[in-house]
Amino acid sequence: MWLTGRSVALIAAAVVSLLLAAIAGIPALLYVTGLCAGLVAVAVVLALLARPRLDLTRTVVPAIVEPDEVVEVEIRVGVRSGVPVVAGHWRDRLPSTVLGEATGTVPVTDGPYATVGYEVRGRRRGSHELGPFSVIVGDAFGLVQRSLSTSDRDRFIVLPRRSPLDVRVGPAGATDGATRLHPTSGLGQDDVIARPYLPGDALKRWHWKATAHHGEPMVRQEESELRPSVLVVLDADPRVHDQA
């Protein structure tokens, strides 16, 4: 809690009028002294009795965004107090990784709550915290003020910046992740089919049943089953992840 410039001016006026009343012998100036000092004293007493409390509801839309996408923040703020107070300048704390201006003046409303808002943009991927929120309140005459704050915080998430990737054709032209059969020249336990004999084929690959069936030399053509692998890349930099 602190005295405003208006209170300081009233105190100065009270001191000056008191000195003039004593030096110039003008007792009427003592009324001015009492009035100025009394206003400040009453404002201080009312501020001590007020014990204001801050009610806050913050809405962040959308909560998950692409890089540089606008995030709209709406705050419903109210001050509960034993005596009437006036809310003035407000501020919502923003991290250095967020672009935006979260300050302003609480508008005057007929009800106990007022709505303020602002827009921000995330500069870097990861989780970004908004808050705490603070507001300055004072008496109706603007003589005494104090700052109220709340520890409530909200977050929004900025997704990594996406870039198109080149499609790289895997073995046997597989690009869709499906299991393919790939010809191989080795012998194995996989499915075996027959093909016509070619010069240079080993005799141990001779397929006798297929040769008898087709009436021409046939050899074994082994096909091994390929299972495409998937590579997952994880960014382990702790600065871009939520530590909560």
Q: Each residue of 215-232: pLDDT tens digit?
A: 888 888 765 545 667 777
Q: Does residue 199 carry a pLDDT above 50? A: yes
Summarize pLDDT for 100-123 with one digit per residue, the tens.
999 999 998 888 899 999 999 998
Q: Kindly tell me if the per-residue pLDDT of 90 is higher than 90.
A: yes
| Interval 230-241 mean pLDDT | 72
Tell me the C-alpha to C-alpha distance, in Å, between residue 195 and each of 94, 201, 223, 237. 71, 11, 12, 54
Overall pTM surpassing 0.85 (yes/no): no
C-alpha to C-alpha distances, 81 to 84, 104, 113, 115, 178, nearest whole angstrom: 7, 22, 12, 18, 67
pLDDT at 162: 78
Whether domain 53-158 has CATH 2.60.40.10: the reply is yes
Q: What is the pLDDT of residue 241?
A: 62
Tell me, what's the pLDDT at 223?
Answer: 57
169 has a pLDDT exceeding 60: no
The pLDDT tens digits for 24-76 are 888 889 999 999 999 999 999 999 898 899 999 999 999 999 988 999 999 99
Asked if the model's pLDDT at residue 184 lies above 70, the reply is: no
Tell me: cis bond preceding 132? Omega within 30 of 0 counts. Answer: yes
Q: What percent of the chain has a predicted confidence (pLDDT) above 90? A: 49
- The Cβ-side half-sphere exposure at 47, using a 13 Å CA radius, reads 24
Q: At what angle do helices 5-24 and 29-50 cross, to 10 degrees?
A: 150
pLDDT computed for residue 136 by the predictor: 95
CA distance 78 to 55: 5
Q: Which residue ranges make up each domain of the chain?
A: 2-50, 53-158, 179-226
The encoded tokens of residue 180 equal: 């393919």
**pLDDT bucket at 190, cuts 50 / 70 / 90:** very low
Looking from the CA of 176 toward its CB, the CA atoms found within 13 Å total 3
